[in-house]
Structure 1
């Protein structure tokens, strides 16, 4: 990593990327929101102009409060209540990610939020997975390779006995048709992972991988609960920095931080989103740089592309501008992400080779043969 970057916009655009933390209901195209609202009769949108609506989502999310940030999803979820709408949103998500240079992505969604028009939980999952396959085909027709898995999510504030376990069982039922893993999402503070221990126990018994939102709106204690429940990755995880004593010339890792780093547990870091929810006042103060320098297993993600007005291109560009990240840094976080992906080993290796070749071509490396 250098102090100043010589990366061009074209290099960042072409750089192969991996997106592990992308919410389906947080990445809609504004025009799609409007058209789906018309189709289902939803009249609650704050604007019917696509540009103005996109700006509203960004402004409303830019509050410094996770609960306020989550309120913006009322509108997107409202228009995602039919199989056709879910398929369309999923297909467009894949297309948009592919156009952004993403070669592998996991998009997450909570089926329980899409039942207002009488869909069943299974029908919701089937519609999203079908849309992802359609999006992959459209991307291929446009000359873009991308593979996408879905993460079925339970809302952590729903603590009805057995609820998250039922969602975990739903995820496992569809493990062979596109569902790559499981997650819990929603308000973190006050709704720790221990409230869903039965779901995580079931998933471990089924040898099914899962990530847990932790270390965003709550600190190391939430991360500790996620780890003790068996999380393979940490959604956000950046407040692990609070378990590190930093000085001008030293960093002393606490027990939790040392475990996360030494165990190579991937952090699904979402820089722009974290600024909106109050992790830091500006990107230069974001923990990602210190965590990266301390050799944590950092990955870079968008979280909610609509609410943050962002893309993987934009996130990489901001990191290059703020911290001097170069192609080697972008390649490392992409390889970190594919290594942490919920994929079969041989598939991960094949995509990793594609990533390495892509960066080699960007650098103009000579063929050793």
Structure 2
């Protein structure tokens, strides 16, 4: 089955099924068909589904599905227009291709942890599985591009997505800092390697974020702090000057901000058009008036089985995203899917008795 179902606590119980919060976070709007592909009959069901499919997405180690006759070449032979997306730790080629990969591992190997945290002696991973998430987004973009290509040519294709490739890709400006400057980037805590001031500062009652992205914003911030002398100083003129003299400038700002109440400072910054904000805990995020106004929390189910989920972020005017199905129990939709494929009730029960298909409590 799917190991993430048991990645709790916390978990919720619905009927006789347990769902971890991790599983609930990424399995809405899906149907679950649980098959034993090591049995020929199970693999054959996958092949029959692939004949009609636009896209197949798989997350097995490189070479695994080929052993069951379910690799790209196998399925392309029966559906030339198929788009087949393989998501692995290290890709289909290269010396690490046979290895498994996890987000945490790849954050380290891909360089992200080397630029995250306060210093090289205390490496820190990002607090959410960003490599997994970005790989999913890159895979989605690639699949959409492949669909457009098929619209024009009729041909499908294989998409090879690797977590490590994603990690290298999202190094972005940090990669270019090294490629252009040949200086290995180091962790800088919450500071920005190129933009100053752009970091957290300690106010009297907590930390605030100051994100200055232009000279005009810096000038306005100096006025908020009642320190026009800072914007008048030649060494702080322009971002380059502020970057070269960041230690001296940030010391001045630390002293000024440390004497102020965070809410009052942020309110004054907002009036002046200076980007800044608090560091919210997760509960504070969902209590935020703007987050609530944007409807980022979606409620699903009835009084007997309520479920709160985070909505799909983009708001689309013509085809808004909908929450149609709650994350399913393992095999919950097996009976329905197999019936749609034309199997009879006796055939489905025979497959279940042989251990080829696992029928969930509603499947």
TM interval, shorter chain, is under 0.3
Taking structure 1 as the reference length, the TM-score comes to 0.26
Asked which structure has the greater CA Rg, the reply is 2
Q: More helix per residue: 1 or 2? A: 1
Between the two structures, name the one with larger relative contact order (CA 8 Å, sep ≥ 6): 1
